[in-house]
Amino acid sequence: MEQTAKKQGRLLTIKDLSVKYVTKDETVSAVNGVSLELNYGDALGLVGETGAGKTTIAKSILRILPNPPAVIDGGSIELDGQNLLTLPEEEMRKIRGKRAAMIFQDPMTALNPVRRVGEQIAEGIRIHEKVSRRQANEMAVEMLEMVGISADRFREFPHQFSGGMKQRVVIAIALACNPDLLIADEPTSALDVTIQAQVLDTIGELKEKKNTAMILITHDFGIVAKSCNKVGVVYAGEIIEFGTTRQVFEHPMHPYTKGLFEAIPKMSLDVDRLSPISGAMPDPTHLPEGCCFRSRCPYAREECRTTHPQDTTLDDGHRCKCIRCLEIAGSKEGNHAAAD
């Protein structure tokens, strides 16, 4: 892949995104007023429990949610200042794979079982790069080798690959056209530790080469620490904490974020049991009034029952949705002063 000039500035802006899954029997509030910004070169880790809405946020960007039942009923998604939610479908096809691409979580369903893997990689290259079939095939072979698959497997079918190798093919498809925005939905979940490191290094090389922005959906804080410079903590369809990786890791402000870190085993401590977050996320078809985390929060107050917390942004850009944020921020600043 040839060297290209790095782009700078704001790439992605999401404002007040709201997504619902509407059926005859019920309405699921999957994403509720999500806002975030991403510059070229940024890597944002979205973390949170299964069912929090992370993948729905990601698929909304590419407009590949199943419709019905999914309905984007509010907000905007701008890529380089262009609102993707108002574009005709024909224009969106030009963006998918070229400007923005996605590594899907389940490689078993992401690949066409009756088409050779090499053809599936080359298809997007032919469409977006306007090259001949032979050139596209040569570029597809290069992509296979870049993710650790030998060129002689170009003409094999998905069923001839292991789960981990299928995932690498999906990664090759996503990276083939050097997208400006790469959305990775648990891209290493099917890989062993060695290949996991190779894949993350490959994605990192692409980011450095073209200043690609990335949204990484994962449950692994270690991967976030290694690969991301920003973190968004997702809970019940909302980003309840957002900041740089250093801010969130060193000074988590939301009780849910603190609970996630406390549930991670620590090699330096000799404990018999982990410290899980009690309870479960609220039913998305009947979200409670007030704070959605209230029933699981050890710091909940009476006002949490009726007051839905709004974003509080500190001077350093660290954002949090909790009525205690300013109190926590005060103690955070006090700790800094004591350290100084």
Is the Cα torsion angle 171, 245, 30, 62 positive or negative in sign? negative
Average pLDDT over every residue of 145-150: 87
Look up residue 228 and give its two tokens. Answer: 């991301």
* Residue with more model confidence, 167 or 132: 132
Contacts 24+ apart (CB under 8 A), 202-209: 202/146, 202/147, 202/171, 202/175, 203/171, 203/175, 203/227, 206/175, 206/178, 206/182, 207/41, 207/43, 207/182, 209/1, 209/3, 209/4, 209/178
Kindly report, residue by residue over 36-71, the tens digit of the pLDDT.
999 999 999 999 999 999 999 999 999 999 989 999
pLDDT class of 202 with cuts at 50, 70, 90:
confident
pLDDT at 151 over 60: yes
10-234: which CATH number, 3.40.50.300, 1.20.120.10, 3.30.1490.20, 3.10.180.10?
A: 3.40.50.300
Kindly report, residue by residue over 239-270, the tens digit of the pLDDT.
999 999 999 999 999 999 999 998 888 777 77
Contact 290, 305 (CB under 8 A): yes
User: Which pLDDT score, from 0 to 100, does residue 264 have?
Assistant: 84
pLDDT class of 209 with cuts at 50, 70, 90:
confident
Q: CA 282 → CA 13, 49, 293, distances in Å?
A: 28, 12, 8
β-bridge pairing 70-79 and 10-22? antiparallel
Residue for token digits 């019905």? 68
User: Which pLDDT score, from 0 to 100, does residue 331 have?
Assistant: 59
User: Which pLDDT score, from 0 to 100, does residue 339 have?
Assistant: 39
Is the Cα torsion angle 145, 149, 154, 157 positive or negative in sign? negative
User: Which pLDDT score, from 0 to 100, does residue 3 have?
Assistant: 46
- Other CB atoms within a 10 A radius of the CB of residue 207 amount to 18
In sequence order, the 6+-apart residues with CB closer than 8 A to the CB of 113 are 157, 158, 159
Domain boundaries, the chain: 10-234, 257-339
Percent of the residues in the chain that have a pLDDT greater than 90, as a whole number:
66
